[in-house]
Amino acid sequence: MMRINASTASVRRAASAAIRRYSSEVATQADKPVAMQSAKYWYYQHKKEVMKGPRFEQTDMSAQPVPMPAIDLIAEQPVKKVHQRVVACNGGGGPLGHPKVYINLDQPGNHSCSYCGLRFEQEHHHR
């Protein structure tokens, strides 16, 4: 068992008194408002006020080019027929790919990758 001398005990009493004093100061400061909620200090502007001027004039969207959605581009890709029961898809690999996922092809039909949408189907072959 460790003996505590008088100087150590006095240091502990002083530290606990300082903590109590600090916590009471924090409690009194918590009652004060954090930010002034007046119109003078409120920096939010309504959307109608912000979106004015030549930068935000109405644009004829029918004249703008519209890229094909990615889901349509993936739907144009043919289904890859494979002989394995499990295939690995990494989106083409390299820095433009995605994490490697394994797709189970035991169920009939095509199965798509959850990252890139490529479809795989097991080609049933008889020996």
Residue 72 has a pLDDT of: 84
Distance between CA atoms of residues 42 and 65, nearest Å: 40
Q: What is the pLDDT of residues 19-49, one digit of tens each?
A: 666 556 655 655 555 555 555 555 566 666 7
Q: What is the pLDDT of residues 41-94, one digit of tens each?
A: 555 666 667 666 666 566 666 666 777 788 888 889 999 999 999 999 998 888
Q: Which two structure tokens, joined as six digits, stand for 74?
A: 């993936």
Place of tokens 């189970």: 104
With 0.85 as the threshold, say if the pTM is over it: no
